[in-house]
Amino acid sequence: QVQLEESGGGLAQAGGSLRLSCAASGGIFSINTMGWYRQAPGKQRELVATATNGGSTNYADSVKGRFTISRDNAKRTVYLQMNSLKPEDTAVYYCNAQYLHITYWGQGTQVTVSS
């Protein structure tokens, strides 16, 4: 089993920045894909960005050019640098990991962007 612990959420003003971190523990093999999803009130959970252990990344169109995902495979940690934040980025952000064909989720961290 894999456990995911997120940190770094909070309150930011529009145009500001926040950095999320997610550390994985448990399991003995490399985690293939780690990423971030978000869910705003009344909306479905949506992809934000993912990164494979080989270095490939994928972004939602809404965050391209503003958010950057990165991984430290040795630390089994994934980061999300969020710049030029917008009020519509307000959501609970969830860390996600694909490990041995099983999907794991973190508990979520709130990001609130004020206008």
What pLDDT digit, counting tens, does each position of 26-66 carry? 887 888 999 999 999 999 999 999 999 888 999 999 999 99
Residue with tokens 């041995």: 100
On average, the pLDDT of the chain sits at: 95
Which one-letter amino acid corresponds to residue 114? S
The enclosing H or E element of 57 equals: strand 57-59
Question: What pLDDT is stored for residue 30 in this prediction?
Answer: 83
CB 20 within 8 A of CB 8: yes
Residue with tokens 């770094």: 8
Question: What pLDDT is stored for residue 70 in this prediction?
Answer: 96
Strands in 18-25's sheet, in edge-to-edge order, are: 3-7, 18-25, 77-82, 67-72
CB 114 within 8 A of CB 14: yes
Question: What pLDDT is stored for residue 80 in this prediction?
Answer: 98
